[in-house]
Structure 1
Amino acid sequence: MNVMRNKIFVSVFLLFAFFAVAENADAAVLRMGPTQTDVTVGNIVKVQVSVDTLGRVINNAESAIQFPTDLLEVVLIDSTSSIFSLWVENPSFSNATGLVTFNGGVPNPGFQGTGGKVISVVFRAKKEGTASVVFSNSAVRENDGLGTDILSGKIGSEITIRSARTEPVTDSLFVLTSSSHPNQNVWYSEDDIEMSWTLPRAATAIKTLLGAYPDSEPTVYYDTPITAKSIPNMEDGVWYFHVQYFDGGAKSKTQHYRLKIDTTDPTDLSVTSGKDNTGKVTLHMKASDSLSGIDHFTVEVNSGKPIVVTADVSGEASVEVPFTRKGEHGVTVSAFDKAGNNIETDLTVIADYVPELRIDEYPATVMVNESIEMSGTAPYPDALLRVSMRDDNNVVQVYKLKSNSYSEFDFISQAVSNEGSYTLWVDMLKDNGDIILTSQRVVTLVETPLLLRIGSYTIGLMKVLIPATILLILFLLLLLYGWFKFFALYRRVKKESREAEEVSARTFKVLRRGVDRHIKKLKKAKRKLTKEEAAFLKEFSEKLEEGEKVVKKEIQDISKL
């Protein structure tokens, strides 16, 4: 009985120890949320990675998260609100390998709890399907000083991706172009076709077709959305390239592109020449082109610059041929179709008439700050011309232009700012700048308008009168000031002279009385004056009277000033 009781006790103890050890060994779960979700193609979905510690304290977690690269791509990883503040390996991703990795830690006292956020991963859905996002190579380590891995479970996420549309796709980014034939309305002699197009990121497949009908639907399917196509050695004619892309279960509208190819030279070029009664030579040209049609002819005289003549709808044209000298000339005529293919022929023409380069109309007089306008006639269309304009100081201004399709030219100079006589003439040039012909010389007089001349004369006169008037006014003011000062001085002098006269009169009067008083005293004295004393007193009296008269006269003279 005791033996049985001991066996039961041991069994219970071992079972309890087993569960205790199991609980201690594995007690954390890594999970993604939401575990299941739907998203449409082209949109984004956020998956949050978190950890549950189930009552244990952890200080580290690491993992690799796998996702299908054909269905999903990572847009960004967010770790701003993570429970981990220390990163052994920063969260990163690779859309090429389909992996998201992280390795983070938290310092003491560690983390304990449920739903501890680790990172958030934002995916973009690429095409329809079911994407499984799962953990691999993961660990959650306990904060026990040993780094014990206590990861007991991993819960991933399943993302169902659906098409957002069932209607035809329209996208402004879907553009069809051709580098070899860039203009759909132009004929080209190039038979190697290069087509390219841009696709939205959601495109999963395409269809193409090259055919003879403008509105065909493409039939050649590519499960990889290519964006270019080369087609060599295409036959002559009008062709149409068509392309369409697929976005999950939806498809785009078909893009169409026209290609116009003509690699064949024109045929049946014929040239006849004729002369009128003045001797002017006219060439009549005709050619055929069954596909793109004749566009223009060129005429070269003595291997010179070609004269370009536009063909009519029937492939014919006429042109008066200019010659710079009389006699025999070699002429080459070429016919070009609308794709640039050409055929040429040579002929000999004898010229009896040499056309001139002349100025037909010009102004005899223009006003200052106006332009000189001139027109004339060149020997042939599209001739390279140089207009020269020389002023009185022999300064020459040069302008280049070309004659029009009627061999006429028009010239307008820049505004002429200086008056004077201007001489104008025109030279016809070769491509290398050599002069072929020179026109007559004409003279235009540039004048200032009458009102401006009067104004200029008035301004010039005023430039003289105004300073002179100012000087005159200053002189008068100075004269007035001098007169005022002189008058004030005069009044002061006159006043002083009167005062001097009065003072001197009083002085001589006092002196006279004093002298007379002394004379009387001497006369009353008991002693008789000697002869010398009597003579001195007489002379002194006379001199005093004479001095009084002189002083009085001088003062009176000063007062008269």
Structure 2
Amino acid sequence: MEETFKKIKSLLVGGVLLFVIFGILPITAQAASLYFSPSSGTHAVGTSFMVSVYVSSADQAMNAASGVISFPADKLSVEALSKSGSVFSLWVQEPSFSNSAGTVNFEGIVLNPGFTGVSGKAISITFKTKAAGSAPITFSSGSALANDGKGTNILTGLGDANFSIGVVGPGAPEIVTPAEVAGTPEAPAISSPTHPDPNKWYAVKEAKFIWDVPKDATAVRLLVGRIPQAIPTVTYTTPITSKEITDLAEGTYYFHVRLRNAEGWGGVSHFRFQIDTEKPTRFEISEVERKDLTDPRAKFIFDASDKTSGIDHYEVQIGNESPQVWRDDGSHRYETPALGPGSYTLIAKAIDKAGNSLANSAEFVIQALEPPTITDYPRELASGEILSIKGKTKYPDTQVNIFLRHEKDEAKSYSVKSDKGGRFVFVAEDRLSSGIYTAWAEVVDERGARSEPSGKVTIAVERPAFLRVGSWAVGFLSVVVPLIALVLLLVYLSWHWWHKFATMRKRVKKEIREAEHALHKAFDLLKEAIREQVKMLEKTKTKRQLTEEEEKIIKQLKKDLDDAEKFVRKEIEDIEKEVLRTK
């Protein structure tokens, strides 16, 4: 009996274990999926519509997801991709698309602690319809990785979507009423240069319509009004081929044309056109209350209405950034991209389907996280040594960006992570070259919120001693060598000019000597000639009595000869003294 009881007990225990293994485990299994919203709809050719991609991971935190989306390139083309409101804060690959291949790619990361929920927006895609028909949108591939430290793929489902594209296109009649009598004219094809697309709204009050008139037509009837299939009643006995209508009120209209020939009145063409010239009636912006003002993504409620054509999209500009197009998914909730700390002005335009707009603005503030503190760093560092910087922040397990700038170069950034106590250590991978470096840090949490920069520190990196001596020697020689060259040049120039002057002086002395000898010789000849004249006169005196005039001439010649001799001798003596002084 006891043995039988033991067998029953073992069977019960085994059954309980099997229940736990095969019953409980499936109930707690983790799963994630990717899906589209909306997943269906009907749109006219030439119009645009938005589809958002969502991730659902209700049971386990997800920290990364990716997908490749396929769409029919002959039916649809991508106009824009938007990351606004995305749960992803980092992108391994920026969302991209190829209209030729009919694909959209995305791969994003959610920082710790990951995302848990059923409607986490990944991206939004704005499609433009190209041709009528069915347009399925599917996932070619996808993944969703758990925030478990292992990167476990927990994706179990990929949704799809299908849209119906209508046949109404630009210039096509809205409705045609066929002729009742055989042989009468067919309904003419109507076109409009002012309102070409029946599916669009135009901010133009004056409308013009054109149609062809066959040769056998004898009259035409026209009508403009609000009734889609009205029969025209205004008759023109001379058939006209165009009509202009001015000062139309807002709303949807139908232009009707009917032709007549000898057999009677033919079919009727009805062309729809839409007018909206007024800006939206209301646009209010209200910020969703944030409990934590350091949240880098501010959220706003856009409450806009347009009584005629309706709101088509919004243009949103934050600060000095370029305006971005945002389309409401029905929640009226706009979320900014992750912003740094500071005060911002959001300027938005609500734009209706005719292009009329109404603007509004809102002020908001993103508060900064508390900045980190650099606690330990080398004020001086030898060239080639490894730089190490230590610091502390109040935020544990958080990304810390270290910025390092060499003199006037652009700052380089590096990322480290603080430990559970908020301490962080940065060790440079590359050895630093000589110069002055400036370092600072900032904190970025998992939401993308940032701190203000920490206080900046300065680090002087010196070159090795032998390089400093070498540099000193090079600097010294760069000064001394040119100086010596300059002195040698001056010595050479002084010698050259002295030599040139000495040569010239010798030549001058020689010339002076020659002039002196020539002067002596010339004066002696002159003196000899004068004396000969005086002797002739004295000889004449022995033969006859000289006249008083001749006596005067003899005296004057003797006197002039003595004076000239004295002057010449004095000048020659002065020249000789000057020559002797310059030796």
Interval containing the TM-score (normalised by the shorter chain):
0.3 to 0.5
Instruction: Give the TM-score, by structure 2 length.
Output: 0.33
Instruction: Give the TM-score, by structure 1 length.
Output: 0.34
